[in-house]
Chain A
Amino acid sequence: EVQLVESGGGLVQPGGSLRLSCAASGFTFNSYWMHWVRQAPGKGLVWVSRIHGEDSRTAYADSVKGRFTISRDNAKNTLYLQMNSLRAEDTAVYYCASDPDYGGFSFFEYWGQGALVTVSS
Chain B
Amino acid sequence: AQRVTQPEKLLSVFKGAPVELKCNYSYSGSPELFWYVQYSRQRLQLLLRHISRESIKGFTADLNKGETSFHLKKPFAQEEDSAMYYCALGSSNTGKLIFGQGTTLQVKP
Do the two chains belong together in a single complex? no
Which residues of B approach A to under 8 Å, CB–CB? none
Which residues of A approach B to under 8 Å, CB–CB? none
